[in-house]
Amino acid sequence: MRMVFRWFGEGNDLISLEHIKQIPGVEGIVWALHDVPAGEAWPLSRIHEVKTEADRLGLTIDVVESVNIHEDIKLGLSTRDEYIENYKKTIERLAQVGVKVICYNFMPVFDWTRTDLFKELDDGSTALFFEKAKLENTDPIELVKQIAENSTLTMPGWEPERLKDLSKLFELYKDVTEENLWSNLQYFLEQIIPVAREHDIKMAIHPDDPPFSVFGLPRIMTNHQNIARFLELVDDPYNGLTICSGSLGANLENNVSEMVRAFSERIHFAHLRNVKTYGNGDFIETSHRSSDGTVDLLSIVKALHDSGFEGYARPDHGRHIWGEECRPGYGLYDRALGIMYLWGIWDALEMKKERSLT
């Protein structure tokens, strides 16, 4: 397992590369050019700027999250080919600086959805919260306004540039079914995967967050059956997965450790976090410790270890603790604690393996 840590870039993150360098076991950053609109090719000069910054502290830039997919591709519009060509150019340019994995998603309109950015937990910390009833009774445009007003930093998947035309997007999606979305995803993959293979970059799709329909929008990367279907759309090692324990774990019917064992050969990236899910469909993000939520991270990490996982992993969302001012879900402190919990599990499994061989 190769541990990496998400960084949003110079001037767009309260966490510095120096902070990240000091977390034990972290070898690189997970990054993106968040100000480049979806559909545009990433400028090579900007890519080199990130590499120069990371090289300064001996951090790798192997994992990009995310090269956002333009909505015209998801919608299957006639304009999609020009955006796919730009995506190919970005893959080619990222390969020039040694990028190995691109994490992306195929969620219509919203990359992720929460109703409260700073819900207080029993211990006094705060975390991202999803209240199903509130979502069902809130206009999506009004929700975006509420979210934007509660964060001073841009949030991945909720960039103003992407969400400024919500009314138009919802109109475009009103007749799009899950089968339409499957067809449009296959078209994208058939164009992109050969380019990814040529440049030795593995594509790793992220599951839907949460793994069910929101605001009536279709969602397809939601469960074991759909992930299996996805991998068959283009049966190629470069067409792979980002396994996200928190996204998939928001549905109590999903057994994430079983998914890890079933799809281990196609998992290129792992997002490891915990959520506490309630019977009414609500969920809140917790510390990474298995006993604090309903996601058994211990079993998931063991499944990765047993499968011989050598890919990249990062601590996903954490709580906001000790008065830290940070981007919702992306504080330094709780994610650093999460890394040490994950390494503790991994190291114990390694020790057990070594002792069994002697």
Nearest to 140 by CA among 118, 171, 161: 171
Catalytic residue IDs: 206, 244, 271, 316-317, 330
> What are the structural domains of the chain?
2-356 (3.20.20.150)
Sequence-ordered alpha helix ranges (H) in 207-296: 224-233, 245-249, 256-263
CA atoms of 48 and 171, how far apart (whole Å)? 39
Please tell me the predicted confidence (pLDDT) of residue 153: 59
Contact 27, 2 (CB under 8 A): yes
Instruction: Take residue 21 and report the two structure tokens written for it.
Output: 């360098």
% residues pLDDT > 70 (the chain): 94
At residue 253, φ and ψ (nearest 5 deg) are -80, -15
Please tell me the predicted confidence (pLDDT) of residue 161: 61
Q: pLDDT by residue (tens digit) across 260-294?
A: 999 999 999 999 999 999 999 999 999 999 999 99
Q: pLDDT by residue (tens digit) across 136-150?
A: 887 877 777 666 666
* Residue type, position 208, single letter: D
Helices 224-233 and 178-198: crossing angle, nearest 10°? 50
Q: Listing from the earlier edge strand, what are the strands of the sheet with 116-120?
A: 116-120, 126-130, 283-285, 275-277
* Spatial CB neighbours of 285, under 8 Å, sequence gap ≥ 6: 127, 128, 129, 246, 273, 274, 275, 276, 293, 317, 318, 319, 329
**Along the 358 residues of the chain, how does pLDDT read in single tens digits?**
999 999 999 888 889 999 999 999 999 999 999 999 999 999 999 999 999 999 999 999 999 998 999 999 999 999 999 999 999 999 999 999 999 999 999 999 888 889 899 999 999 999 999 999 988 887 877 777 666 666 655 656 666 666 667 788 889 999 999 999 999 999 999 999 999 999 999 999 999 999 999 888 999 999 999 999 999 999 999 999 999 999 999 999 999 999 999 999 999 999 999 999 999 999 999 999 999 999 999 999 999 999 999 999 999 999 999 999 998 999 999 999 999 999 999 999 999 888 877 6
Identify the DSSP state of 122. Answer: T
Please tell me the predicted confidence (pLDDT) of residue 340: 97
Please tell me the predicted confidence (pLDDT) of residue 162: 60
Contact 60, 28 (CB under 8 A): yes
SS3 103: strand
Sequence-ordered alpha helix ranges (H) in 220-255: 224-233, 245-249
Matching residue, tokens 């709780």? 334
